[in-house]
Amino acid sequence: MSRRTIEYDVRTSGQMGADGRPVSVPPMPAGIEPEMHGEHMLINIGPQHPATHGVLRLVLELDGETVVRCIPHIGYLHSSFEKLGEYRGWNQIVPLTDRMDYLAPLIYNCAYAMAVEKLMGVEVTERCKVLRVLIMEMDRIFSHLLWLGTTAIDIGAFTVFLYTFQQREEIYNLHEGLTGARITTSSTRIGGMMADTPPGWLDAVQKWVDEFPRTLDEVDTLLTNNNLWIGRNRDVGAIGPEDAVDLGLTGANLRASGVPYDVRKDAPYYDYETYDFDVPIGEHGDCYDRYLVRMEEMRQSLRIMQQALDRMPGGPINVDDPRLILPPKTDAMNDMESMIHHFKLVQHGVRAPAGESWYSVESSKGELGMYVVSDGGTKPVRWRVRGPSFINLSALPKMVEGHLLSDVIAVNASLDIVLGEIDR
Amino acid sequence: MAENETGLPVHERGGRGNALPVLEAGGHDKDGSPGWVTTKLDYVVNWARRNSLWPMPFGTACCAIEMMASAATKNDLARFGMERMSFSPRQADLFICAGRVSYKMAPVLRKIWDQMPQPKWSISMGACASSGGVFDVYSMVQGIDTIMPVDVYVPGCPPRPEGLIYGILMLHEKIRGESLAYDSLRSEDDERVGRANLPAHAINELALPFGNSTQQNQVSGLVGTRAIARPNDRQP
Amino acid sequence: MPESYRDKLEFRDALDQLAEGVDRGPAQAPRSGREAQADEHPTVAALTDALGADVVLRHEVQSGDEHVVFLAADRLTEVMRWLRDSAGYDFLKDVTAVDYGGGRPIQVVYQLWSIRDARGLRAKVELPLDALEVASVVPIWSTANWLEREVYDLFGVHFDGHPDLRRIMMPENYAEGHPLRKDFPLRGRFSRAEQTRRALSMDVEDFYIPDEMAVYGSGEAGTSRPEQDPAAARARLMRSGGGPGAEAGAAVPPMRPEGAPGVPGSGEELQEDERA
């Protein structure tokens, strides 16, 4: 039996064009099909839906398949973290922070502790600073991996989901080694960390940092020059820089539109100005650019992690401040004063001076702001979380106007939202 | 018990001569115990049901991520026949509520549960779905069993994938013990649509604060709030 | 060599207080903020020059380097527009509110950032509890849309000029008030059973706002669905829920700023909270 070979020309062969971007098929010229209009249709997506990344409800007004208007409804996960924070001591709020952005819990733990430490005027130790930088970058990658997996699965590429989740399992092991929990880490305290790194943990992180780029390269091969991926993401959900700033977008969404704003560079904290890393900036502000920016951000985070591992100093992890840190257990058991000290701290908790503080941190989703207001007591008067996803999502209606229904899913995925942070 | 030619037992009351034995409504023998055929049929049916439970992942928050991790490669739900996550309730067997549920989400949850056809089971995954968890606040449902029936509760915040799998295996055991003879187990009950699963007094009782919650309902103390407190909130 | 913590003054202090059994009150608590002069922050200086010194009611510095200006509510739009156009604060990071409790005014807090100058400023407006209204800044920064909706939902502050001021976090038929106020109890005003009943008693149409329902109302193939009278729909929603098993007499009391007595029909005696 003879074999027949079929060749066909796909036109988007992954060749790079003159502008450095893959060449795509030119759009169908106008006039081929008659314009058709009809009655608009109301479609409800969610709140229970696989592709809404949580309990998000989108009500779309459609003209055929084109979105005329999109109205997001949120609040289906409103757990009143902020109100609950008013009834908890300063250290008791740390476990609450994990559950807001459960995809990058260590970033939230650190941001909250940093805000309260600023309010109190406490400077953490060098080791604590470098360790916090290390874990924040690790969780940035952690969150981007989930974004990558779920975005790919929304667009239809299932394999990437499995690859990224396998790498996330490695990070889960690292989380567990440091804090005892996979997701809800609760690892920071006011004035330091819950505990120092266990022996061998930093070597495990180093090993993971060495091995992770292989997976990134694999995913890169699968997606970046893939015609289907480009076709679904390029020129979809584009937003310009002025609109992006006006709508309050932050993070990769803002940088993909060409605005070079990154809190680590513009308002650096924890010696970020001494680390050597780049911030990728996009051009067109579409889904494809957001994808490229986040992929590159993961590589840059690896750079920062390597530098943090190299410069990790020794020394204590917690500040030596009796107002904040419990005494060593042997002292507390043997010495009356230490026991009283322990008692005061455990019964009443730490106290903050009256006043307020705002702390901005570059989280994986965007700019995370923690605003704490204190009246001098052991609990905050107000704890406000400026969740980046809340504001990023408010830009969604503008980004999907005029696009197709399936593009709504792609744009929603590319915004990288987490509902725990939106609904708080 | 009499036997017909085929050697299978036949109920004397319903006797059909040479035909296959008839399962009584209830499938019980005269002495009340389930008949042999009933038990064999139950065994086969339960085996088929528990080994291909198609989950409806009602994932809301952090537990959903652990549920996704249990479906991923390291803890693989496919070995239980559960990799086909059915996002349409019409095609699902197992409702896994993974994550906290707010009162705004409660009608959606109830509707999804009602849309699932029998046989259906439910797993309440995590502390928030089982009891409200850390969130004893104005907007959170204090346990989804106030809204819908629950078969297995998996504690944890979030439960590890191994924990969820343990809960699923526990459900397998529960399914093993079911019988087609129990009509009321699998009836499609329309009357309860829109109502809570538990009566009002039970909901209030279940939602009373306990343990630490009774001490953690005061604000900074340096500020007088004149908030309205409920004296029942202070019970130990 | 670091000195032992036992030698530190704060520790001695803490022990003394424990012996005396006295906790410091807010008047004696250490403060992290201080009054500031206008010229310490270039924007504040320029603002007082451009629009007059009386737009800035107070200027303080919190936590070392955070400048906070208190603005008058009546000139808010003017000042905000000036800040965006002339001072380069193109980025509104956050709009939120703080309720200090005890009858004190609620502060609406605006966190501003200038991307080109890499400089931030916090602006506050104090609103008395009986006049919780302020101009909306949505015409100036579009990002304020959802942020102001959240402040309205959780605090009850009304923003004049907001295009779509309605609840965002709580369900549309939420009748217990504004949750983040200090006089709102943590577990809500209604009993759990009542909260559950209200949650489950919504019809399908209640999930859609009138704006969305208008999509079908305008079509010529007039469907059986549209809610022609949004006011009636809202009134129906806010009543006792209307679902099966509505408790008799469970009418919703009007929202009072503080100290609302118990809801009739909930069957519980409610009393004032005590200080810790």
What pLDDT, on a 0 to 100 scale, did the predictor assign at position B172?
92
**B40 is in which domain, residue-wise?**
2-48
B108 and B30 fall within a common domain: no
Q: Does C199 touch chain B (CB under 8 A)?
A: yes
Question: In this complex, which of B220, B223, B226 lies closest to C258 when CB atoms are compared?
Answer: B226
Beta carbons of B107 and C183 less than 8 Å apart = no
Instruction: List the structure tokens of C215.
Output: 């999509």
**Residue ranges of the domains in chain A?**
81-423
Q: What is the CATH number of the domain that holds B117?
A: 3.40.50.12280
Beta carbons of A79 and B139 less than 8 Å apart = yes
Please classify residue C37 by burial: count the beta carbons closer than 10 Å to its beta carbon, then call 0-12 exposed, 13-18 middle and 19+ buried: exposed
Residue A72 and residue C221: Cα distance in Å, rounded? Answer: 26
Residue A157 and residue A382: Cα distance in Å, rounded? Answer: 43
Beta carbons of C269 and B229 less than 8 Å apart = no
B74 and B169 fall within a common domain: yes
Q: Does A77 touch chain B (CB under 8 A)?
A: yes
Contact C153, C147 (CB under 8 A): no
Query: Per the omega criterion (within 30 degrees of 0), is the bond before C244 cis?
Result: no
B20 and B102 fall within a common domain: no
Is B206 a member of any domain? no
Residue C47 and residue C51: Cα distance in Å, rounded? Answer: 6
**Residue ranges of the domains in chain C?**
34-189, 192-238
Beta carbons of A371 and C146 less than 8 Å apart = no
Nearest residue of chain C to residue A348 (CA atoms)? C23
Taking contacts as CB-CB distances below 8 angstroms, the residues of chain B near A103 are: 65
Backbone angles phi, psi at C160, to 5 degrees: -75, 130
Q: What is the pLDDT of residues A346-403, one digit of tens each?
A: 877 888 888 899 999 999 999 999 999 988 888 899 999 999 999 999 999 999 998 9
Scored b (16 or more CB within 10 A) or e, C178-189 reads bbbbbbbbbbbb
Contact B25, B31 (CB under 8 A): no
Taking contacts as CB-CB distances below 8 angstroms, the residues of chain C near A374 are: 32
Beta carbons of B227 and C183 less than 8 Å apart = yes
Q: Does C264 touch chain B (CB under 8 A)?
A: no
Is B157 a member of any domain? yes
Mapped to the 3 state alphabet, what secondary structure does C138-156 carry?
CCCCCCHHHHHHHHHHHHC
Q: What is the pLDDT along chain A (424 residues), one digit of tens a residue?
A: 445 555 444 455 556 666 666 666 565 555 555 555 668 888 888 788 877 688 999 999 988 888 999 999 999 999 999 999 988 889 999 999 999 999 999 999 999 999 999 998 889 999 999 999 999 999 999 999 999 999 999 998 889 998 998 999 999 999 999 999 999 999 999 999 998 999 999 999 999 999 999 999 999 999 999 899 998 998 899 999 999 999 999 999 999 999 999 999 999 999 999 999 999 999 999 999 999 999 999 999 999 999 999 999 999 999 888 778 888 888 888 888 888 888 888 877 888 888 899 999 999 999 999 999 988 888 899 999 999 999 999 999 999 998 999 899 999 999 999 999 999 8
B22 and B108 fall within a common domain: no
Rounded to whole angstroms, the maximal C-alpha distance in chain A is: 94
Mapped to the 3 state alphabet, what secondary structure does A181-226 carry?
CCCCCCCEECCEECCCCCCCHHHHHHHHHHHHHHHHHHHHHHHCCC
Tell me which residue of A191, A150, A157 sits closest to A318, measured CA to CA.
Answer: A191
B44 and B58 fall within a common domain: no
B175 and B92 fall within a common domain: yes
Architecture per CATH, C34-189: 2-Layer Sandwich (3.30)
Beta carbons of B225 and C101 less than 8 Å apart = yes
Which chains reach chain B with 3 or more Cβ–Cβ distances below 8 angstroms?
A: A, C
Taking contacts as CB-CB distances below 8 angstroms, the residues of chain B near A53 are: none
Nearest residue of chain B to residue A96 (CA atoms)? B134
Q: Does C63 touch chain A (CB under 8 A)?
A: yes
Tell me which residue of A291, A300, A302, A301 sits closest to A252, measured CA to CA.
Answer: A291
User: What's the residue count for chain C?
Assistant: 276
Question: In this complex, which of B134, B160, B219 lies closest to A86 when CB atoms are compared?
Answer: B219
User: What's the residue count for chain B?
Assistant: 236
pLDDT average, residue stretch C49-78: 88
Instruction: With H, G, I as helix, E, B as strand and everything else as coil, classify residue B145.
Output: helix
Beta carbons of A39 and C168 less than 8 Å apart = no
Nearest residue of chain C to residue B215 (CA atoms)? C276
Question: In this complex, which of B221, B222, B226 lies closest to C259 when CB atoms are compared?
Answer: B226
Instruction: List the structure tokens of C146.
Output: 């959802």
* Tokens 């670091």 belong to residue: C2
Is B173 a member of any domain? yes
Q: Is residue A346 within a helix (H) or strand (E), and if so which, with residue range? A: helix A336-348
What pLDDT, on a 0 to 100 scale, did the predictor assign at position A8?
45
* Nearest CA-CA distance, residue C53 and chain A, Å: 25
Residue B188 and residue B211: Cα distance in Å, rounded? Answer: 38
Taking contacts as CB-CB distances below 8 angstroms, the residues of chain C near B232 are: 268
Contact C170, C89 (CB under 8 A): no
Q: Does B222 touch chain A (CB under 8 A)?
A: yes
**Summary count for chain B: helices (H), strands (E):** 6, 7
Tell me which residue of C107, C50, C108 sits closest to C79, measured CA to CA.
Answer: C50
Beta carbons of A88 and B216 less than 8 Å apart = yes
Which chains reach chain C with 3 or more Cβ–Cβ distances below 8 angstroms?
A: A, B
* Nearest CA-CA distance, residue C141 and chain B, Å: 29
Instruction: List the structure tokens of A137.
Output: 């970058």
Q: Does B112 touch chain A (CB under 8 A)?
A: yes
Number of Cβ pairs < 8 A linking chain B and chain C? 135
Query: Per the omega criterion (within 30 degrees of 0), is the bond before B158 cis?
Result: yes
B92 and B168 fall within a common domain: yes
Question: In this complex, which of A61, A341, A376 lies closest to C30 when CB atoms are compared?
Answer: A376
Beta carbons of A83 and C98 less than 8 Å apart = no
Which one-letter DSSP state was computed for residue B88?
S
Q: Would you say residue C187 has pLDDT above 90?
A: no
Q: What is the pLDDT of residues C100-150, one digit of tens each?
A: 877 889 999 999 999 988 899 999 999 999 999 999 999 999 999 999 999
Residue C71 and residue C54: Cα distance in Å, rounded? Answer: 9
Query: What region, left, alpha or beta, does residue A19 occupy, with left being phi > 0 and alpha being psi -120 to 50 degrees?
Result: alpha
Contact B125, B97 (CB under 8 A): yes
Tell me how many domains chain B contains.
2
Taking contacts as CB-CB distances below 8 angstroms, the residues of chain A near B112 are: 48
Beta strands in chain B (DSSP E): 2-3, 9-10, 55-59, 94-98, 121-125, 152-154, 228-229
Instruction: With H, G, I as helix, E, B as strand and everything else as coil, classify residue A70.
Output: strand
DSSP string, C89-106: --EEEEEEEEE-STTPPE
Beta carbons of C183 and B110 less than 8 Å apart = no
Beta carbons of A42 and C93 less than 8 Å apart = no
B81 and B155 fall within a common domain: yes
Q: Does B95 touch chain A (CB under 8 A)?
A: no
Contact B12, B1 (CB under 8 A): yes
CATH number for the domain whose boundaries are A81-423: 1.10.645.10
Residues 6 or more apart whose CB falls under 8 angstroms from that of A410 comprise A151, A154, A155, A232, A233, A236, A237, A287
What pLDDT, on a 0 to 100 scale, did the predictor assign at position C6?
54
Please classify residue C91 by burial: count the beta carbons closer than 10 Å to its beta carbon, then call 0-12 exposed, 13-18 middle and 19+ buried: buried
Taking contacts as CB-CB distances below 8 angstroms, the residues of chain B near A374 are: 220
